[in-house]
Amino acid sequence: MVHENETTVRGTVEAPWRIGTRGSLLALTQAGHVRDALIANGQQAELVIVKTAGDQNATDPVQKIGVGVFTAALREELAGGTVDIAVHSYKDLPTAQDPRFCIAAIPARQDPRDALVARDGLVLGELPAGAKVGTSAPRRSAQLKALGLGIEIVPLRGNLDTRLSKVTSGELDAVVVARAGLARIDRLDAVTESLEPVQMLPAPAQGALAVECRSADTELVTILSALDDLGARAAITAERALLAELEAGCTAPIGALAEVVESLDDDGRVVEELSLRACAAAIDGSDVIRASAVGSVADAAELGRALARELLELGARDLLSVTEESAELTDSSNPSPMENSPMSERSERITGTAPSGAVAPSASEVQP
């Protein structure tokens, strides 16, 4: 480990930027893209593996373990100076901002859609009644149930390879995961159907990365900002503002997707606008409330907040309240073994084992 002193210059061969990441193949691939992008810009960087609560507890539902299950340990390492940069799947971050940190870059976004991986090449509409479909996300579960296909939803945790193996082994008929994750690890060949937003809206910020550093590190903020994609930032800003206005966490059954689109102004000129679609679902699939809006790219946050207020007026709070009550009952009857035990954190530096890839980072979802 490089010891800090007055003459240490980060970003050099002697003192590369230290990028904190989870240790899964997917997380290493994502962080590896950020590392490669920095190197391409003349900055030296290496990866440091950080163990998170979500890695230590691979069986309980994410919503049961707690907010920030995949990000808290990374942020503590960042705050403590063990790492200089943290790479998150943006959707895993709590909606409340932490003034200690700055999201210095949101790289170009991967395809945010959900993907079906099913036996025998089946698409969703071809699955027979009673088919077992695995997913760990309440959002996916609720929207799948709302389609009324008569399928059985089976809770699912683990890395992508583990999830896919449930289908190849015959334990499950299908799983639903983030398409971006499969793209990241070159497994798009496994996808039998990419689910369109009219069927299933993705999680807010799905397919996007958050490249985070300490707010006080102004020089690093400037360096990382070169990796920022303005379209991705506008879309994620709108989606996350909607989630925050709804006061819903990253595991709530909320779907949202913003896209920069072209339209014509009153003078017939082509202008860019931000289109935002969102939904709130009852956890049992009995009701789904949908709404959409179009606004200025520059007003992305307000667009998200306004659409959230519309959802609330349409009754979204009632659906979310039912979901929260159901989760509380589940938690009280099945307490997590992690609740009263300190989280053990472990860091490990690695320099050459993470997969390399294209310079421009895209994104994926670590825990669907």
Biggest alpha carbon distance in the chain? 67
Count other Cβ atoms within 10 Å, centred on residue 300: 23
Give the angle subtended at the CA of 23 by the CAs of 337 and 179, to the nearest 5°: 95
Does residue 360 carry a pLDDT above 60?
no
Confidence band of 327 (pLDDT split at 50, 70, 90):
very low
The helix/strand/coil state of 225 is helix
- Specify the pLDDT at position 36: 98
Backbone angles phi, psi at 212, to 5 degrees: -115, 145
Where residue 166 falls (left for φ over 0; alpha for ψ -120 to 50; beta otherwise) is alpha
Residue 298, class by beta-carbon neighbours within 10 Å (0-12 exposed, 13-18 middle, 19+ buried)?
A: exposed
Q: CA–CA separation, 217 vs 18, rounded Å?
A: 13
Question: Of the candidates 85, 99, 66, which has an alpha carbon nearest to the alpha carbon of residue 21?
Answer: 85
Q: Which of 288, 285, 365 is nearest to 114 (CA)?
A: 365
Backbone φ and ψ for 118, nearest 5 degrees, come out as: -125, 160
Q: Is the pTM of this model over 0.75?
A: yes
DSSP letter, residue 227? G
Which residue blocks in the chain are alpha helix, DSSP H? 25-40, 53-56, 62-65, 72-80, 138-146, 160-168, 179-184, 218-224, 230-245, 300-313, 316-333
Return the axis-axis angle of helices 316-333 and 300-313, rounded to nearest 10°.
80
> Catalytic pick from 36, 55, 60, 92?
92
Other C-beta atoms closer than 10 Å to the C-beta of 275 total: 17
Q: What are the strands of the beta sheet with 288-296, ordered from one edge?
A: 254-264, 270-281, 288-296
- Extract the tokens encoding 150: 């008569």
Q: Is the pLDDT of residue 325 over 70?
A: no
Q: How far is CA 348 from CA 15, 21, 340, in A?
A: 16, 10, 26
What is the rounded average pLDDT for all residues in the chain? 84
Q: What's the rounded mean pLDDT across residues 121-137? A: 96
Count of C-beta atoms within a 10 Å radius of residue 97: 12
248 vs 55, residue with greater confidence: 248
Q: Look at the block and give the residue holding tokens 């669907």.
A: 368
Task: Report the pLDDT averaged over residues 28-33.
Answer: 97
The domains found in the chain, sorted by start residue, are 10-107+208-228 (3.40.190.10), 114-194 (3.40.190.10), 229-330 (3.30.160.40)
Residue 341 has pLDDT above 50, yes or no: no
CA–CA distance, 213 with 127 (Å, rounded to integer): 45
Is pLDDT at 95 greater than 60 in this prediction?
A: yes
Query: Is 92 annotated as catalytic?
Result: yes
pLDDT tens readout for residues 185-223: 999 999 999 999 999 999 999 999 999 999 999 999 999
Question: In DSSP terms, which residues pair with 280 in a beta bridge?
Answer: 254, 289
